Structure 1
Amino acid sequence: MDAQGTTRPDAENAAPALRNDAALSTEALIRAYHDMVLIRRFEEKAGQLYGMGLIGGFCHLYIGQEAVVVGVQAALKEGDEIITSYRDHGHMLAAGMSARGVMAELLGRATGHSRGKGGSMHMFSREKNFFGGHGIVGAQVSLGIGLALANQYRGNDNVAAVYFGEGASNQGQVFESFNLAALHRLPAVFIIENNRYGMGTSVERASASRALWRNGEPWGIPGLQVDGMDVNAVHAAATQAVAHCRAGKGPYLIEMLTYRYRGHSMSDPAKYRKREEVDEMRRKHDPIEHVRVLLLEAGLGEAELKALDDEAKAVVADAADFAQSSPEPDESELYTDILIEA
């Protein structure tokens, strides 16, 4: 995997090099490290609580992919919207939703961001412009261009960040969304989180395209393929894509080459890949370790980094305690949020 994340050297599939690929400042890297560690520790705790039977339904962990959402979020501004799939806890935390509220929602408690009715896959925060987690594969993409259309209609310069996985990248509604977004020059950044496995099927067995960043070419949508394990590369690509959208040039597509360390969901033993593959990714490409090394080279000490880790652990422990001590929703909540009369 090279500096741009390109894994295939042939000219046909090689991604164009990023321009103005400036690294994040030390201060920004510290923030990125904090946010990635918080997501990692949160997801580890969520996996533990799921194993204890405190989280019901489905639970898809984001461990290994932290650099993607943190790098993109650093390129967004207040007012920009985010919409994603069911692997969404990391996106919520990166968007600024409270760890307490997210954890309480995972446990189905009344203090959760969706009052205990959305669970892991269907949280929402209008305050933070987070428009869900969505359980239907690829469905959020068409909703995402609706957010972009609203921005265009209102005449603001907000951008919609629309996340989906490589498993959803060949859905018909995704290509229909590409068409409409390009036709109307909508300010949408399409972000493919290519973690190599859609449920238990590798991308090589599921997609005839070996360069998903080019999937928007029939509609004239420019694209990049990026090392999604490198927060600097992610941020540079997202900055370029967001600027393109804010300038009124239409949508942009980024393929983030990333990797999930855990199974597709908590019920997936991930026997379709070798343990050595996962271990190698952790050892050579871990996104948090990468930033840790950069910060040490920038002059930070081990004690400062440990303090950031300890802070994240404390926030997560507090969120878990808060969630477990919160009440379950009242039965009357079954009949709320069903119909809005305007």
Structure 2
Amino acid sequence: MASLLASRLSRRVGRAVPIHSTIQTTADTTQLQDSAHETEPFLPELDVKVTKNELLEMYRQMQTMRRMEMAADALYKAKMIRGFCHLAIGQEAVSVGLEHGITKNDKVITSYRCHPLAVLRGGTIKGVIGELLGRQAGMSRGKGGSMHIFTPSFFGGNGIVGAQVPLGAGIAFAQKYNEEDTCTFAMYGRRSSNTQYFTRGDKIPGLQVNGMDIIAVKQGVEYARKWTVDDKKGPLLLEFVTYRYGGHSMSDPGTTYRTREEVQRMRSTQDPIRGLQRYIEEWGLASEQELKQIDKDAKSTVDEAVEEAKASPIPDIKDLWTDIYFAGTEPPFMRGREKEEVHYY
């Protein structure tokens, strides 16, 4: 039986905030200005119980997800990946922590920075890398790239900034309509929330979570799920205060709007993997050598998946016309790029 561990989160890890607030965030602190709305405090329980096996699995998954994103980085620089490629190196606590706070029947939808979530929600590393390489082994058979990766409980991978949020609301409405005891997490970032439409949700309660601490993320997600599914209190906004090490995409070095010193400071003081490693070592759950073996295994897993994806063939030209419509709902014909290019079903 796995041993049960208890930990108390810092009060800075999670706090209830009215969303109509001015939030000032630095690397170390978050301060809220005067708010336009009064809210009652509803902080989640700060005493957290986790098992040794769960913490070690979190560590393994975070290391594996980072290795996968690093592999994608290398493949892009080698010109084997073309087009768009958005990585989430530094944000592993959000994806892995989310997965450990929800159930397999819950749904997740996000934008194009989606590779770890796609794997954690039932996909494979080979499938993600194969999709980025444009190979038949890809999760969308090499025809979609990052913006078109799906599983039965993961709805993308969406190419339009913020467009996944109303889609997520639709998925959640279907869950409510069908009286399912499940919920949907619609993930989006800062650039999705800087339009006037976003202010229509000002009175939705929110919770701010340290997105660089995986235990805090897990606890915040579990609280949000209980709020929505068990207590039936409606939607809840979660803000994960996290930090991406790379630029917006592979074509953006990320050095024009922040300094290299800032990135290095975050890597050395706030890294989510290193933070979990400290928990594990301080609590005597694994030795340094055991953690190094997990790191080695993660690298081997990713390396093997990359080689298998690279060995997969590119899609056949006939596959251009497949997977567009659900089987049996195809139109009589489909036009291609040119006027004379027509495919009849």
TM over 0.5, shorter chain: yes
Distance, in Å, in 1 between the alignment partners of 2:287 and 2:30 is: 37
Q: Which amino acid aligns with 2:138?
A: G
Q: SS in structure 2 opposite 1:255?
A: strand
Shift of residue 23, structure 1, vs aligned partner: 4.6
Given that residues 60 and 295 in structure 2 are in contact (C-alpha distance below 8 angstroms), is that contact kept between their aligned partners in structure 1?
A: yes
Q: CA RMSD in A?
A: 2.0
Shift of residue 96, structure 1, vs aligned partner: 3.1
2:34 matched residue in structure 1: 12
Shift of residue 10, structure 1, vs aligned partner: 4.4
Q: Which amino acid aligns with 2:95?
A: V
Given that residues 85 and 134 in structure 1 are in contact (C-alpha distance below 8 angstroms), is that contact kept between their aligned partners in structure 2?
A: yes
Distance, in Å, in 1 between the alignment partners of 2:215 and 2:82 is: 36
Residue 159 (structure 1) aligned with residue 159 (structure 2): no
Pick one of 146, 154, 172 that aligns with 1:148: 172
Pick one of 123, 127, 135 that aligns with 1:101: 127
Distance, in Å, in 2 between the alignment partners of 1:132 and 1:60 is: 13
Distance, in Å, in 2 between the alignment partners of 1:239 and 1:155 is: 20
Residue 26 (structure 1) aligned with residue 47 (structure 2): no
Q: Which consecutive residues of structure 2, in runs of 5 or more, have no partner in the other structure?
A: 1-9, 16-24, 330-345
1:314 matched residue in structure 2: 300
2:314 matched residue in structure 1: 328
Pair 27,147 (structure 1): closer, same or farther in 2 beyond 3 Å: same
1:241 matched residue in structure 2: 224
Shift of residue 19, structure 1, vs aligned partner: 2.6
Pick one of 22, 35, 44 that aligns with 2:61: 35
Pick one of 248, 258, 277 that aligns with 1:292: 277
Q: SS in structure 2 opposite 1:225?
A: strand
Q: Once structures 1 and 2 are overlaid, which stretch shifts more, 113-122 or 1-10? A: 1-10
Distance, in Å, in 1 between the alignment partners of 2:241 and 2:101 is: 18
Shift of residue 170, structure 1, vs aligned partner: 2.6
Distance, in Å, in 2 between the alignment partners of 1:260 and 1:317 is: 23
Q: TM-score normalized by structure 1?
A: 0.83
Q: SS in structure 2 opposite 1:164?
A: coil
Q: Which amino acid aligns with 2:85?
A: C
Distance, in Å, in 2 between the alignment partners of 1:4 and 1:283 is: 22
Distance, in Å, in 2 between the alignment partners of 1:173 and 1:158 is: 26
State, as a whole percentage, how many aligned pairs show the same letter.
Answer: 45
2:151 matched residue in structure 1: 125
Shift of residue 171, structure 1, vs aligned partner: 3.6
Pair 10,117 (structure 1): closer, same or farther in 2 beyond 3 Å: closer
Shift of residue 117, structure 1, vs aligned partner: 0.8
1:111-260 to structure 2, matched below 5 A, reads 111-126=137-152, 129-171=153-195, 174=198, 216-218=201-203, 221-247=204-230, 248-260=232-244
Shift of residue 25, structure 1, vs aligned partner: 2.5
Q: SS in structure 2 opposite 1:161?
A: strand
